[in-house]
Amino acid sequence: MTKVLLKDIRKNFGTVEVIRGVDLEIEDGEFVVFVGPSGCGKSTLLRLISGLEHISDGELHIGGRLVNEVPAARRGVAMVFQSYALYPHLTVRDNMGFGLKVRKVPASERARRVSEAAATLKLEPLLDRFPRQLSGGQRQRVAIGRAIVGNPDVFLFDEPLSNLDAELRVHMRSEIAALHQRLSTTMIYVTHDQIEAMTLADKIVVLRDGRIEQVGSPRDLYDSPRTIFVAQFIGSPKMNILPLADGQPIALGASVPATATSVGIRPEHLSLGQPSNSTLRGKVGLAEYTGAVTLLHVALDGGQTCLVIHNQGPAPETGAEVGLRAEPGHLHFFDKEGRAV
């Protein structure tokens, strides 16, 4: 059982505290994704787990063992880096077997494990090539293969798909998901791409300024965000947040909590109607046609801009007067501290 347990983990760089007390429990075989904006500490947290950075305070347990002072190579973890970090002077075969060689695994065993990993990732024809002779996707597969051969208890992925083009990213995402299903190993994955987070994760950890903002399944975070930050971070396009004074009409029929100061509604939960019989009215400022849907930027009478996803029929022209409607069940209320109520 390889459970990963973080107890009040802190990290300082000089006088700056970048990780400010993180408590987290990751179950055996779970796929956990760390998301958050740039500088929130997600990559640092991953590097603390990997052993590449020293933990300033707190306890890190991997597989029931306290590993704060255990070197990276002896933690039973393997990491896939954003830039793949393949050794350019070694062939694919040598890259994959390098860690085993350092650990003095016999050559025959090394060859067997490299072949197995290469077969899993369909890398056999590439084994004698150098990294410079590979495409981005192939390099990514080699980087994953290098992690697999060590047979780690935990896989760590640091934004592994961010250097790939959009099409390849979708393909590799499904390969990583398939790999997780096949290996059933604990995986921790860092990304700033919330589509990756939503599609891959069993559990998403949203980080903000070195602290955990919310932990939960993708559906939990989407349906029940605990703060405005999470509400706006998860979901694309982001949730509209309206001050309740302006948002009041949209919430007709919904019971508004006494402490609520703002209301959130996702663009996909708003629909267009006649201005005369709608609860919110505004003018279309911009219509972005994306093929499947049109994203409307509606300037409300109150001055706010509201995003609306329109996917039924032709979209109104820029400048058209529109009315907006929402189902009461899709409204999210927040107090003045930005917490859900």
Residues that bind other proteins (CB under 8 A): 50-52, 71-74, 77-79, 81-83, 85-89, 98-99, 102-103, 146
The nearer residue to other proteins, 98 or 334, going by C-beta atoms, is 98
Burial category of 95 from C-beta neighbours within 10 Å (exposed 0-12, middle 13-18, buried 19 and up): buried
Least distance to other proteins, CB of residue 82, Å = 7
| Best CA proximity match to 216, nearest among 78, 68, 33 | 33
- In the complex, minimum distance from the CB of residue 90 to other proteins, in angstroms, rounded to a whole number: 8
**Tokens read off for 250:** 């949209």
Cα gap 261→243, rounded to integer Å: 6
CB 265 within 8 A of CB 283: no
Give the residue with the Cβ less far from other proteins, 68 or 279.
68
Q: Are 155 and 75 in contact (CB under 8 A)?
A: no
* DSSP codes of every residue in 240-271: EEEEHHHHGGGGTTSPPPTT--EEEE-GGGEE
- In the bound state with other proteins, the residue whose beta carbon lies nearer, of 63 and 338, is 63
Closest to other proteins by CB, 25 vs 94, is 94
Q: Do residues 287 and 315 lie in contact, with contact meaning Cβ atoms separated by under 8 Å?
A: yes
- Nearest distance from C-beta of residue 252 to other proteins, angstroms: 54
- How crowded is residue 252: how many other Cβ atoms within 10 Å of its Cβ? 12
Return the number of the residue (47 or 203) whose C-beta is nearest other proteins. 47
Q: How far is the CB of 136 from other proteins (least distance, A)?
A: 15
Q: How far is the CB of 164 from other proteins (least distance, A)?
A: 16
Sign of CA dihedral 333, 334, 340, 341: negative
Q: How far is the CB of 146 from other proteins (least distance, A)?
A: 8
Residue among 6 and 77 whose Cβ is closer to other proteins: 77
Helix axis angle for 107-120 and 136-149, nearest 10°, is: 130
**Beta strand extents in 117-261 (DSSP E only):** 154-158, 186-190, 203-208, 211-216, 240-243
Least gap, CB of 57 to other proteins (angstroms): 20
- Helix or strand holding residue 294 (H, E): strand 294-300
Name beta bridge partners: 316.
Answer: none
Supply the DSSP symbol for 321.
E
What is the smallest separation between the CB atom of 321 and other proteins, expressed in angstroms? 54
Tell the smallest beta-carbon distance from residue 294 to other proteins (Å): 41
Beta-strand (E) ranges in 14-153?
A: 16-26, 31-35, 57-62, 65-66, 77-80
Residue (86 or 127) nearer to other proteins, CB: 86
Kindly state the helix (H) or strand (E) to which residue 9 belongs, with its residue range: strand 4-13
Q: Which is nearer to other proteins, 151 or 232 (CB)?
A: 151
Cβ distance to other proteins smaller for residue 43 or 138? 43
